[in-house]
Structure formats: structure tokens, C-alpha cells
């Protein structure tokens, strides 16, 4: 079922030197969630925040967005610099769950579900990058013969086990070499090794 997700913003105001002069109650809630001292609002800011703020002020920036990780939570910051008032408004959003979902979807797009190897789409994109950068590389294509006969006789579970076993064996062989080698599952029983991809 469709779920409506409310966007919770943790709002604070800072003076021109980057010191917090106001914060809404949601900031305390976030500190409690992170098991941090609720009186130390500055714990939500990156260590180098004041230096970065000074740089943005010198560059006459007005709206900046950036991300920072605090105790394994990913926070997104929306900073508005108001030079006429010599103040700054900072909105913080906890995007950990959204980022986790995005990473999962991205992984599914670029990886094979059975072997968890990079898939054909990932292969094509990375090889295209190598070609555009005119970097030398080599390809080795591998395919299992008569796999369909085995799968027809033994079933899909045995077929999947063979594919997984093949994947593990290829990984073991790759680990024996010092060169940078990347392994992809193209489709079915077809695998590809790319040598020269950093």
C-alpha cells in the first residue's frame, strides 16, 4: 500500500561566524536518536563546517547543499547564507532510509540477482568509459557448454548451483593474479573478465 512519508527538517539559525543561535525541537529529537548530548547541537555539524562556511561567504555563495555522516546516519544539509542580515539558516534532513533504498535499487540495476556479480549493463557502461578515455584493456569471454541439457535433466536448482559454483571458481582464479581483473555475468552461462579496469 502507498505510504505518505513526511519530510522532517531540523532547522537552526547561525550567526555570521557559524555559531548556532537557534534550533527547533526537532534538532534535539535527532540528537537523542543519535544518542548524542542534546545540549551539544554543534555535534550535528561537520568538524570543518566553520572553515567551509568562511569559504562560502568569501565566494559569495548563497545556497549550498551537502551531505555528512553522523554515527552511520546520513544527513543532508541545506544552507542559506544571508549576508545582508549577517546570519545563516540551516535545514538538516535525515536521508539515511532514502539513501539505503536508493543504494538497494542501484545495486539491483547493476548486479545479477543470482551471483551478485556486476551485470551486462554495468559491463557496457564501464567498457564504454574505458573506450572514451582511450585506456587499454582486454576482454575474456567464458561460456558453459551444454548447460541447458544439464538443467533440463536436473532442474533449475541444480542449474543455479552450477552457475554459483562457476562464479566462485572464477573468483578464486582471479584472486591468484595481482592484476586488476573485474568479473561480470553477462547473461545465462556467459561471463566476462575485463583486465585493465582500475
**Edge-to-edge strand order for the sheet containing 73-82?**
20-23, 10-15, 87-94, 73-82, 63-70
**Tens-digit pLDDT profile for residues 7-32:** 446 888 999 998 889 888 888 888 88
- Buried b vs exposed e over 9-42: b needs ≥16 C-beta within 10 Å? ebebbbeeebebeebeeebeebbeebebeeeebe
Quickly count: other Cβ atoms within 10 Å of residue 88's Cβ. Answer: 24
Nearest to 79 by CA among 56, 55, 48: 56
- The enclosing H or E element of 126 equals helix 120-132
Query: Per-residue DSSP letters for 133-156?
Result: TT---EEEEEE-TTHHHHHHHH-H
pTM of this structure: 0.65
Q: What's the pLDDT at 198?
A: 57
Query: Per-residue DSSP letters for 48-104?
Result: THHHHHHHHHHTT--EEEEEEEETTEEEEEEEEEETTTTEEEEEEEE-HHHHHHHHH
Low-confidence ranges of the chain (pLDDT < 70): 1-9, 178, 197-198
Q: What's the pLDDT at 2?
A: 36
**Tens-digit pLDDT profile for residues 89-117:** 999 999 999 999 999 999 999 999 999 99
* Contact by Cβ (8 Å): 20, 14: yes
Residue with cell 582464479: 173
Q: Give CA–CA dist 185/116, Å, rounded.
A: 9
Amino acid at each position: 500500500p502507498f505510504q505518505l512519508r513526511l519530510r522532517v527538517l531540523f532547522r537552526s539559525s547561525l550567526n555570521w561566524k557559524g555559531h548556532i543561535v537557534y534550533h527547533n525541537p526537532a534538532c534535539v529529537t535527532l540528537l537523542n536518536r543519535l544518542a548524542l548530548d542534546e545540549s551539544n547541537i554543534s555535534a550535528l555539524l561537520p568538524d570543518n563546517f566553520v572553515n567551509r562556511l568562511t569559504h562560502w561567504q568569501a565566494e559569495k555563495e548563497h545556497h549550498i547543499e551537502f551531505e555528512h555522516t553522523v554515527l552511520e546516519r546520513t544527513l543532508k544539509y541545506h544552507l542559506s547564507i544571508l549576508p545582508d542580515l549577517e546570519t545563516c539558516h540551516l535545514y538538516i534532513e535525515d536521508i539515511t532510509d532514502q539513501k539505503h533504498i536508493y543504494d538497494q535499487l542501484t545495486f539491483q540495476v547493476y548486479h545479477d540477482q543470482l551471483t551478485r556479480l556486476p551485470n551486462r549493463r554495468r559491463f557496457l557502461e564501464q567498457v564504454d568509459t574505458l573506450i572514451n578515455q582511450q585506456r587499454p584493456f582486454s576482454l575474456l569471454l567464458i561460456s558453459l557448454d551444454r548447460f541447458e541439457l544439464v538443467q533440463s535433466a536436473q532442474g533449475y536448482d541444480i542449474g543455479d548451483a552450477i552457475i554459483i559454483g562457476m562464479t566462485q571458481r572464477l573468483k578464486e582464479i582471479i584472486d591468484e593474479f595481482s592484476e586488476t581483473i573485474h568479473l561480470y555475468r553477462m547473461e545465462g552461462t556467459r561471463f566476462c573478465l575485463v583486465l585493465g579496469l582500475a
